Amino acid sequence: MNIKISGSGSYIPTEIVTNKDFTKHVFLNDDGTPFPLPNEVITEKFYDITGIEERRYVSDDLLTSDIATIAAKKAIENAGIDPETLDYIIFAHNFGNVKKGAIQTDILPSLATRVKFDLRVKNPKCVAYDMLFGCPGWIEGVIQAQAFIKAGMAKKCLVIGAETLSRVVDMHDRDSMIYSDGAGATIIEATEEEEGGILAHASATFTYDEAYYLFFGNSFNKEHDPDVRYIKMHGRKIYEFALSQVPKAMKECVDASGIDISNIKKVLIHQANEKMDEAIIQRFYKLYGQKAPEGIMPMSIHKLGNSSVATVPTLYDLLVKGELENHKLDKGDVILFASVGAGMNVNAIVYRM
């Protein structure tokens, strides 16, 4: 028995927000003082570092659970399964449903429960739960789905990663330009195929010094309500942490899989920051005394931004459906998933198509 991704789906929001749209913003330092550079310079420097030209936001009428349901329906259709045969729905997100203009998140009932309701699944044995694991949540959900299947507790699982970060960003913080919205979903199931599927995985949580590298904090605008919180990060610390720990997790996973590094066709890494991802991939290959092959790392961040837990499943869906220029996958190809995010969590999966 092997455990494979039998179907995938994604939702790319319709609202396109370009870097030029941020030239109208009032950017402040964390102490509330005006940022000294003009916005045109800020956005140019931002692009040089992150590679982000534009990002996608959901329309005002949609919630995280809504776009997750859209992606889930596509994955179910792509896999050709009856949703009543699902044993688990694992929904990775970080902020729940946040309505446009709201100051509270809504996670009652859980978002996984809402997706099950929206899919009209009657089977009570289909267990639905949410996962809070930062940006690596979808990968961790796949790892859990594999564990359920290996333990004989499941045959088919729906794993979703979705987020609407546009609802929790401080528009006076330059970091707000990084974040975006999106949803990706996959069906994970047992197969009788002799080859392929999940070959190895690795996960770790670093908290001793790193727990609060990403956190909820006040707006940089000191006139805003101090009881309203926004996503905040210590960017330099995250960058240094990611470059130190993610390549190690990737190598641990590859070594456990028995796959030679030369046989990896693509590396699908969390779309956090182009320069950071490029540095991670170079450090990973350096651990094997090699340079990263050209074209090894597909990127979607340039047009889609950083949608947190949704970046990797969305990237996978676009790749397998031939929607990423100059990238393709064939049956038997080996890919490496990897992510890093709030917690601080890192993880990886080696997977053969």
Q: What is the DSSP string of 262-288?
A: GGEEEEEE--S-HHHHHHHHHHHHHTT
Q: By the 8 A CB rule, do 220 and 29 touch?
A: yes
Q: How large is the average pLDDT for residues 107-133?
A: 97
Instruction: Find the range with the poorest average confidence among 31-40, 129-138, 244-253.
Output: 31-40
Going edge to edge, which strands form the sheet with 2-11?
2-11, 181-191, 156-164, 88-92, 127-131
Count of Cβ atoms closer than 10 Å to residue 305 Cβ? 26
Q: Domains of the chain: which residue ranges? A: 2-193, 198-352
Same fold, 2-193 and 198-352: yes
For domain 198-352, which architecture applies? 3-Layer(aba) Sandwich (3.40)
Collapsed DSSP state (helix, strand, coil) of residue 83: helix
**Structure confidence at residue 85 as a pLDDT band (50, 70, 90):** very high
pLDDT for the residue numbered 196 = 85
Q: Which of 137, 136, 149, 135 is nearest to 112 (CA)?
A: 137
Residue 182, pLDDT above cutoff 80: yes
In the numeric block, which tokens belong to residue 300? 């979607």
**Structure confidence at residue 176 as a pLDDT band (50, 70, 90):** very high
pTM of the model: 0.95
Q: By the 8 A CB rule, do 202 and 188 touch?
A: no
CATH superfamily of the 2-193 domain? Thiolase/Chalcone synthase (3.40.47.10)
